[in-house]
Every structure is written in C-alpha cells, then in structure tokens.
Amino acid sequence: MTQPDQLRLLAVHAHPDDESSKGAATMAKYVHEGVDVLVATCTGGERGSVLNPAMDRPEVWERLPQIRSEEMAAAREILGVGQEWLGFVDSGLPEGDPLPPLPEGCFALVPTEEAAAPLVALIRRFRPQVMTTYDERGGYPHPDHIKTHKISVHAFEAAGDPDRYPELGEPWQVSKLYYNMSFTLPRTKAIHEAMLAGGLDSPYAEMLEKWDPAKDISHRVTTRVPCGEYFGIRDRALIAHATQIDPTGRWFSTPMDMQQRVWPTEDFELARSLVDSATPEDDLFAGIRSRADEEVGVR
C-alpha cells in the first residue's frame, strides 16, 4: 500500500450511497487501471429515509442503519474499492420554515478541527496522491455534505503539516484535491434534449425550468474523466443501496447508450494542486502519474 509506484485515490463522501452517485464510474475506471481506491464515508446515514417505495416496509425501517451498512458493503464490492467509516452520526436534512435545529451530537455540529481528525489519520495511513470531495455548497445543501467539504479541505491542509495533529501519524501531503462537479446545467440540458429528440419522456423538464443559470457551476469544471464504459458498474453500485434508490426512478430513465453518447465523462474541479498539470485535464492523476512512473523506472 505504501510503495511509491502505487497510485492511490481517496474519495470522501457524506453518506453511504453518495459514493455510488458522485464519481463512481471514475473510481471504477481507476480500480480497473490498478489504482488503489478508498472511500471514506463520514456518517452511517442513520437519519436517511427509505426512498425506494419497494423497500418502505416496517421490517426495513426497524433495522435501517444495519441495512445501510450491508448495502454499502455490497456497493464497495461492485465498485472494487476499499471503504472506511469515519464514525460520525448523520445530521439529517432539516425541513420546515423556520428550519428546526440540528440534532445534538450530529456530524454537522462537531467542530471542524475535531471532525477532521479521523480523516487526517486516514490520509496519513493511506497516503493518497489524489483526494475528491464536494464543493463549498456541498454539491447540494445537506448539512453533512457541507461539513464533508469543510473537513476535507481542513484535512488536505493539515495532514501534510507535522505541527498539526502530531499524534495522528507521519505527515502526508496529498498532491491534488478535486470537487465532484457532475451535476451541471449543461449536462442535464444535453441529456434532456437527447431524450426528447429520441422520442422519450424526459424527467428533467421541471428541474431545468427551476434551475437558475447564475447558480450553475459548470464554468468551474477543469477535469473531465472519460468513464462511459463504467456507467453500468456505477448503476449496479447505486442499485445496491436499495433503500435509497428506486430502480424504476428518474436516475435510470436515460438509456445507457444515450448517456454514453451524450455525456461520457464525470466532471471535477481541481480545487488545490501541488503539481504541474495543465487544465483542462482528463485524468485526476495528471502531473502525478509520470512521477510515479519515473519512480518505478528508477527502482
């Protein structure tokens, strides 16, 4: 795990299932190429709901945390990744006006310095060159997603600093930090238009109507990873989260070949980098891969 010639990718996610909907095909691609890929899951998804009508049964609700853990185990097998829990408790998605306070002890309320500690320890142990997380808005405004962003940036900066968290292992500086940027206005529009052109019902009309172009983030995309051939693995991993995903729902309404034709990439923003790589890029390891290859050559 610690050879200098081994590429390692750490993907930080808020809940079990997020890894399968954000950057999953990219992870599957890198696993296929021999990269060591690890998912860090901040919370157990304890306050999630049952979002698949077929699973909305009392016996499922009774043991939901256990079931979500089993679903995660199935998804990580399908993706071929390692996965570790950071051990925080789901904050839930507060709803109402005014919003109710967050539940005591939840992930979003843990001070960032403390909440980042398990991630710093994991980075120093796993020693990834590349890390992915969410942007400052969390990708969408769930308090756990925003907190995931905060601890990721904090840990990216702290893990390489010998003066910070000295009790948590040898410093390790991650070379690149990316934000997941797959849900952009241009992508949704392109898929919507392809579905209409193909004579299909698009589930995206209402979403597009409400989408404020000023809130689109696509101009921030620096990196498009071609991974269309791994969309099938992504979908299987997502379906493994059976309580969270309705296999007859919107996620799966666009034919696979249409997705692969219209938008065959997953997109990211390079948020921090300590290596030289010209953007736009098509590889999260651009600027690192060659160095690792050189190290192999030297040995």
Q: Examine residue 18 and tell whether it contacts Zn ion (CB under 5 A).
A: yes
Pick the binder of Zn ion from 10, 11, 15, 244 (CB under 5 A): 15
- Known binder of ligand: residue 145? yes
- Shorter beta-carbon distance to Zn ion: residue 134 or 156: 134
CB of 18 to Zn ion, least distance (A): 4
Residue (18 or 71) nearer to Zn ion, CB: 18
The yes or no reply on residue 40 touching Zn ion (CB under 5 A) is no
CB of 142 to Zn ion, least distance (A): 6
Shortest Cβ 79–Zn ion spacing (Å): 16
In angstroms, give the least distance from the CB of 1 to Zn ion. Answer: 28
Q: Which of residues 163-182 bind Zn ion (CB under 5 A)?
A: none
Contact segment (CB under 5 A) with Zn ion among 13-21, 62-70, 108-116, 180-188 equals: 13-21
Q: Is 237 in the site for Zn ion (CB under 5 A)?
A: no
Between 107 and 165, name the residue whose CB sits nearer to Zn ion.
Answer: 107
d(CA 51, CA 56): 8
User: Of the ranges 14-22, 104-112, 125-133, 173-181, which one interacts with Zn ion (CB under 5 A)?
Assistant: 14-22
Which of residues 15 and 234 has its CB atom nearest to Zn ion in the complex?
Answer: 15
Q: What is the 3-state secondary structure (H, E, C) of the chain?
A: CCCCCCCEEEEEECCCCHHHHCCHHHHHHHHHCCCEEEEEEEECCCCCCCCCHHHCCHHHHHCHHHHHHHHHHHHHHHHCCEEEEEEECCCCCCCCCCCCCCCCCCHHHCCHHHHCHHHHHHHHHHCCCEEEECCCCCCCCCHHHHHHHHHHHHHHHHCCCCCCCHHHCCCCCCCEEEEECCCCHHHHHHHHHHHHHCCCCCCCHHHHHHCCHHHCCHHHCCEEEECHHHHHHHHHHHHHCCCCCCCCCHHHCCCHHHHHHHCCEEEEEEEEECCCCCCCECCCCCCCHHHHHHHHHHC
**Options 12-20, 101-109, 258-266, 267-275: segment touching Zn ion (CB under 5 A):** 12-20
Interacting span for Zn ion (CB under 5 A) from 9-17, 195-203, 228-236, 274-282: 9-17
What whole-number distance in Å separates Cα of residue 103 and Cα of residue 109?
8
Phi, psi of 103 (to 5 degrees): -65, 140
Binding segment toward Zn ion, per CB under 5 A, in 15-23, 212-220, 245-253, 259-267: 15-23
Q: Is 154 marked as binding a ligand?
A: no
As measured in angstroms, the least distance from the Cβ of 106 to Zn ion is: 13
Can you say which residues are annotated as belonging to the binding site? 15, 18, 145
Q: Kindly list the residues in this chain that would bind Zn ion in the complex (CB under 5 A).
A: 14-15, 18
